[in-house]
Structure 1
Amino acid sequence: MDIQLLRVFLTTAQEGSISKAAKKLNYAQSNVTNKIQQLEKDLKTQLFYRHNRGITITPSGQVFVSYTEKILNTIQEARAVLSESAVPSGPLRIGSMETTAAIWLPKILPDYHADYPNVDLSLVTGPTEQHIHAILHYELDGAFVSGPIDHPELIQDEIIEEELVLITATSHPPIASIQDIDTYTMLVFRKGCSYRAKFNSILQEEGIFPTKLMEFGVMEAIIGCVSAGLGVSLLPRSIVNLYEQQGRVRVHYLPGKQSLVKTLFIRRKDTLVTPALSAFMEKMRSKLG
């Protein structure tokens, strides 16, 4: 089977559009259409429904996506094994929550880059849910996410256990109970963020269902709005230390186990641990573990 046909199919499935796939691959639309038709002929099955609004992947196509991802990843691994020496080199794709990237990765990345300059490391920040999806679809080699995670296709290492705290404007009086923030505006990261999920879980345990919610994409925006008195947020203690010292926010502690969250490093069980990834995990454990 032609590998290029698989790449065209996977790109089309991911983009959900022949025109978008053609643009991404720098192909003519007719070329993409012809290659998909050729693949469907080889497989003797329909991979996409065609209609006036474009295309929709079929159930057979959805099944074939996972096989295509595995095939292309295996080919990439084989090429890496044949071309790599014992010295870490080549691409390394790492995902991280924004808070982990801001506080903990500076302890790893400078040394790693200095020791292994031939590694082309790319860092993608985002919520836990996004990184799990990317790992499962072979888009990342490893990722820092918030636990617990229970998935049969993932390996996980517990890296850090952190304390979560509530933050408010500095003028806010002490918070004695979660019930004290019943009517407050909750400032959170976008959906998929584990801290947001944890915040929701804590509130629901106390019978609180917030009606006012503001969603942000970056941490600095949350800190700024909390500092201005717009509402309350839940973040790791390590991330708010500096802002508390600067007099921008006030910290309020949660009781017992409610405040604890684990940061994990996850990767797929069936992927190759390249020298670059192995060196990264060794550096991670020595600096954070």
Structure 2
Amino acid sequence: MDLQALRFFQAVAELGSISKAAREMNYAQSNLTARIQQLESDLQTKLFYRHNRGTTLTDKGKALLSYTYEIFQLLDEIQNVMSDDQTPKGPLLIGSMETTAAVRLPTILSKFHREYPAVDLTLKTGPTEQNVQGVLQYELDGAFVAGPIEHPELTFKTIIEEDLVLITDTIHHRLSSIKEIQNRTILVFRNGCSYRARFEEWLQHEGVIPEKIMEFGTLDGIIGCVSAGLGISLLPRSVVDKHMKDNQLIQHPIPNKFGKVKTIFVYRKDKYISTSLRIFIEMLSNDNTTINNSTLV
């Protein structure tokens, strides 16, 4: 099968137009049209419906598109295996929750970069759900997420168990019941964040409906607004310890059932583990004490 024709097909399928795909790939539109027609002839099936707005995949076209992702991923895998001479080098894309990146990772990432400068290490932060999808879609080599994660295509290594705390500004009275926050605004990361999911699970369990939910994209944004009295939040103790010591925040007790969450490192079972990723995982195991004892500075 013509791999270039498959790439043309994939581009047209994703962009919804032969003309757009031709511009994107810097090929003549007539060339793409001819190659796709030849592909349809070889496969003896229609892959696209053509209309004045562009193209739409047929059912057979949708099936082929899913296979193209697997084919090109496998080709990339072959290239990675063949080019891996057991020397840590090249790109390494790691995902992480914002809180883990702020507190747990600076020391380990600094050490890894110092010992393996030929590795182009990139850290992308986002909520657990986003990071898991990034690993599943081969966009990330691995990611630090909140456990448990049970997926047949993923394996994981437990990094640490975090204690979660409910935080408010310092002038807030001591809470004796979660029902007292019924009229308060809760400050959370966007959907997909495991801490937000745990907070909402706790509130639902207690039958509490917050007055308002405000979403933030950064940890500093949440902490700053809680400190200013805008609302309350649920975050790992390791993240807010320094702010409590500086009398910017106070914490309130929460039930054990909702107060623990494991941070795990997930990666695909079926993907070739490059030398860079293997050494990174080994460093996580060897430096577990360093990770556990990290503090926000």
* Superposed pair shares fold, TM > 0.5: yes
* 2:151 equivalent in structure 1: 151
Q: Displacement, 1:66?
A: 3.6
Output one character per residue of 1:64-84: Cα deviation in whole Å (capped at 9) or x when no partner.
344222222221121122222
In structure 2, the partner of 1:75 is 75
SS of residue paired to 1:108: helix
Preserved CA contact (<8 Å) 1:97 1:144 = yes
Name 1:160's counterpart in structure 2: 160
Inter-CA distance 232–117: structure 2 relative to 1 (3 Å threshold): same
Q: Whole-Å Cα distance in 2 between the matches of residues 121 and 28 of structure 1?
A: 37
Distance 1:223 1:20 in 2: 45
Q: Structure 1 residue 180 and structure 2 residue 180: aligned?
A: yes
* TM, length-normalised to structure 2: 0.86
- On the 8 A contact 1:69/1:138 being kept in 2, the answer is no
RMSD: 2.5
Task: List gaps (5 residues or longer) in structure 2.
Answer: 290-297
Give the CA deviation at 1:161.
0.7
- 1:85 alignment partner in structure 2: 85
Change in 2 beyond 3 A, CA 1:262/1:172: same
Q: Does the alignment pair 1:228 with 2:247?
A: no
Instruction: Output the CA distance in 2 between the equivalents of 1:262 and 1:13.
Output: 40
Aligned partner of residue 87 in structure 1, secondary structure: coil
Equivalent residue of 2:195, what SS?
Answer: helix
| Structure 1 Cα separation of the partners of residues 17 and 233 of structure 2 | 39
User: Which whole-Å CA distance do the structure 1 matches of 2:156 and 2:28 have between them?
Assistant: 42
- Higher mean Cα deviation, 55-64 or 80-89? 55-64
Distance 2:50 2:161 in 1: 50
Residue in structure 1 matched with residue 293 of structure 2 by the alignment: none
Residues paired across the two proteins, number: 289
Residue 171 of structure 1: how far off its partner (Å): 0.8
In structure 1, C-alpha distance between the alignment counterparts of 2:42 and 2:232, rounded to whole Å: 57
Question: 1:224-258: CA deviations, max 9, x gaps?
Answer: 11111111111111111122223222211212121
Note if 1:242 corresponds to 2:242.
yes
Residue pair 1:69, 1:137 contacting (<8 A) in 2 also:
no
What is the CA distance between 1:275 and its match in structure 2?
Answer: 0.5
Paired with 1:152 and 1:283, the residues of 2 have a C-alpha distance of: 25
CA–CA distance in structure 1, aligned partners of residues 207 and 66 of structure 2 = 41
Structure-1 separation of matches of 2:20 and 2:200? 37
Q: Which amino acid aligns with 1:161?
A: E
Conserved 8 A contact 1:96-1:123? yes
Residues 221 and 119 (structure 1), Cα distance of their counterparts in 2 relative to 1, 3 Å cut: same
What does residue 130 of structure 2 align with? 130
Contact 2:181–2:210 (Cα < 8 Å) also in 1? no
Return the index of the structure with the highest Cα Rg: 2
Q: Partner amino acid for 1:169?
A: D
Does structure 2 retain, via aligned residues, the 8 Å contact 1:107–1:287? Answer: no
Task: Label 1:195 to 1:116 Cα distance change in 2 as closer, same or farther (>3 A).
Answer: same
| In structure 2, distance between residues paired with 1:5 and 1:164 | 52
Give the letter for the 1:173 counterpart: H
In structure 2, distance between residues paired with 1:221 and 1:208:
24
The residue aligned with 2:141 is: 141
Change (3 A) 1:106 1:20: farther
Please say if residues 182 and 211 of structure 2, whose CA atoms lie closer than 8 Å, have aligned partners that are also in contact: no
Q: Quick one: which amino acid aligns to residue 193 of structure 2? A: C
- Relative to structure 1, is the Cα distance of residues 29 and 117 closer, same or farther in structure 2, using a 3 angstrom cutoff? farther
5+ long unaligned stretches in structure 1: none
Q: CA deviation at 1:140?
A: 1.2
* Residues 29-48 of structure 1: pairs in structure 2 closer than 5 A: 36-48=36-48
SS of residue in 1 equivalent to 2:287 = helix
